[in-house]
């Protein structure tokens, strides 16, 4: 008999990274003979894209019905249990887990980043919920250490997007830029970044990647205008595919990538693209340190662009691919749970 699995996460919002995680998770769960239902902001699209059932995220009756009929709830991946985006978001994902626990279902917390948790009430909620689930995996050391300090057993795993296969494609030698809206991204930073891209990559095509239309498109178009105002002849293109495979393929064609989003950095590393991160989030800083790639600071005065771009151009593509290949997600804990799940 197939296991009935409900997946809860930031799905149906056309976010490249979360959608890539969901594709990896669905492929694995299907290989374990699962009947999958995804809780999504856009159920019809999610159902069509992944070949699964889906229910609307705020249709509470449908969510409860799906959970009560399931064997296992998978919460994740991504950063669901944090209160920086909003307390409401944390309460919602905690509520979904609590419902599964109430219905006595097995709960898997999958490859999540826990926190930041700035409020004491948030810490209490997350600690209470996670202390009662059957299997917790986290994607970074900081989350692992936090849960250990709470006496919660967790396994540290690599991000699921490392498991996506990217085919080798001919290079177009363009330079990719991936930006997202963020409070620290100001005009001074954007202008200095543009000046140095034009200085170090003159006569190169510049491709600006939108990973989530709601947060990325406006700033990418704005940055394109900054580049063109400084150099009217610069060849630019804003890239936005709703198809993940096309996005990965386009990134793989690049020579260099300068990216804010965590999964943009991972996608580039997997393709052996020379990559620099932008430090809007601690997870990007840690990844840059691990992969030995340059990191651009949003605090403009902290950047030595000549040194950063020299290091970027000097990166070894094969070593970047080898790094990404070494980070595959270990599924053994989840596989064991599927065997023993009641």
Percentage of residues in the chain having pLDDT higher than 90: 87
Residue 47 has pLDDT above 70, yes or no: yes
What's the rounded Cα separation, in Å, for the pair 114 and 139? 9
Percentage of residues in the chain having pLDDT higher than 70: 99
Does residue 206 share a domain with residue 258?
yes
Q: What are the Cα distances from residue 146, in Å, to 83, 95, 142?
A: 15, 21, 6
User: Is residue 16 a part of any domain in this protein?
Assistant: yes
Q: What is the pLDDT of residue 342?
A: 61
Query: Average of pLDDT values for 47-55?
Result: 97
Does residue 104 share a domain with residue 224?
no
CATH number at residue 222: 3.40.50.2000
Q: What is the pLDDT of residue 180?
A: 97
Residues near 103 by beta carbon (within 8 Å), at least 6 away in sequence: 67, 68
Q: What is the pLDDT of residues 256-315, one digit of tens each?
A: 999 999 999 999 999 999 999 999 988 899 899 999 999 999 987 889 999 999 999 999
Q: Which domain holds residue 244?
A: 175-325
User: Is residue 320 a part of any domain in this protein?
Assistant: yes
What's the rounded Cα separation, in Å, for the pair 261 and 48? 26
Query: Average of pLDDT values for 55-74?
Result: 98
What's the rounded Cα separation, in Å, for the pair 163 and 329? 6
Does residue 226 share a domain with residue 108?
no
Does residue 333 share a domain with residue 234?
no
Does residue 191 share a domain with residue 130?
no
Q: Measuring CA to CA, which residue among 178, 192, 180 is closest to residue 300?
A: 192
SS3 call for 335? helix
- The structure tokens listed for 293 are 């790639």
User: Is residue 187 a part of any domain in this protein?
Assistant: yes
Does residue 274 share a domain with residue 126?
no
User: Is residue 215 a part of any domain in this protein?
Assistant: yes
User: Is residue 55 a part of any domain in this protein?
Assistant: yes
Does residue 129 share a domain with residue 107?
yes
User: Is residue 65 a part of any domain in this protein?
Assistant: yes
Q: What is the pLDDT of residues 147-204, one digit of tens each?
A: 999 999 999 999 999 999 888 888 888 999 999 999 999 999 999 999 999 999 999 9
- The structure tokens listed for 204 are 């190169």
How many CB atoms are located within 10 Å of the residue 279 CB?
A: 18
At 182, give phi and psi (nearest 5°). Answer: -160, 150
Average pLDDT, the chain: 95
**In what helix (H) or strand (E) does residue 136 lie, and over which residues does it extend?**
strand 135-138
Does residue 205 share a domain with residue 119?
no
Does residue 104 share a domain with residue 186?
no
Does residue 155 share a domain with residue 210?
no
Does residue 75 share a domain with residue 135?
yes
User: Is residue 26 a part of any domain in this protein?
Assistant: yes
- The structure tokens listed for 20 are 């890539």
SS3 call for 253? coil
Domain total of the chain: 2
If you ran DSSP here, which 8-state letter would residue 161 be given? G
Helices 213-230, 187-200: inter-axial angle, 10-degree rounding: 60
Q: What are the Cα distances from residue 281, in Å, to 79, 120, 194, 267?
A: 12, 22, 21, 17
Does residue 197 share a domain with residue 304?
yes
User: Is residue 225 a part of any domain in this protein?
Assistant: yes
């Amino acid at each position: 008999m197939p296991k009935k699995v409900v997946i809860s996460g930031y799905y149906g919002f056309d976010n490249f990274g979360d959608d890539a995680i969901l594709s990896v998770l669905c492929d694995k769960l299907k290989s374990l003979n699962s009947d999958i239902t995804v809780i999504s902001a856009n159920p019809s699209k999610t159902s069509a894209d992944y070949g699964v059932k889906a229910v609307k995220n705020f249709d509470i009756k449908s969510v409860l019905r799906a959970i009560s009929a399931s064997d296992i709830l998978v919460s994740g991946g991504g950063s669901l249990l944090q209160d920086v985006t909003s307390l409401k978001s944390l309460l919602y994902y905690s509520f979904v887990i609590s419902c599964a626990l109430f219905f006595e279902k097995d709960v898997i917390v999958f490859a999540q980043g826990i926190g930041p948790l700035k409020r004491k009430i948030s810490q209490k909620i997350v600690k209470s919920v996670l202390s009662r689930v059957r299997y917790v995996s986290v994607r970074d050391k900081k989350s692992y250490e936090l849960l250990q300090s709470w006496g919660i057993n967790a396994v540290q795993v690599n991000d699921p997007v490392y498991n996506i296969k990217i085919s080798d494609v001919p290079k177009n030698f363009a330079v990719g830029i991936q930006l997202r809206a963020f409070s620290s991204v100001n005009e001074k930073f954007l202008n200095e970044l543009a000046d140095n891209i034009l200085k170090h990559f003159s006569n190169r095509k510049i491709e600006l990647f939108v990973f989530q239309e709601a947060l990325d498109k406006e700033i990418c178009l704005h940055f394109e205008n900054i580049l063109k105002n400084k150099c009217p002849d610069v060849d630019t293109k804003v890239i936005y595919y709703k198809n993940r495979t096309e996005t990965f393929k386009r990134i793989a064609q690049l020579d260099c990538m300068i990216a804010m989003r965590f999964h943009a950095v991972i996608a580039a590393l997997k393709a052996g693209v020379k990559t620099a991160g932008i430090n809007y989030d601690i997870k990007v800083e840690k990844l840059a340190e691990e992969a030995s790639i340059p990191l651009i600071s949003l605090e403009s005065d902290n950047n030595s662009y000549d040194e950063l771009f020299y290091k970027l151009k000097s990166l070894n593509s094969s070593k970047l691919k080898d790094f990404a290949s070494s980070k595959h997600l270990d599924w053994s804990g989840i596989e064991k749970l599927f065997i023993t799940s009641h």
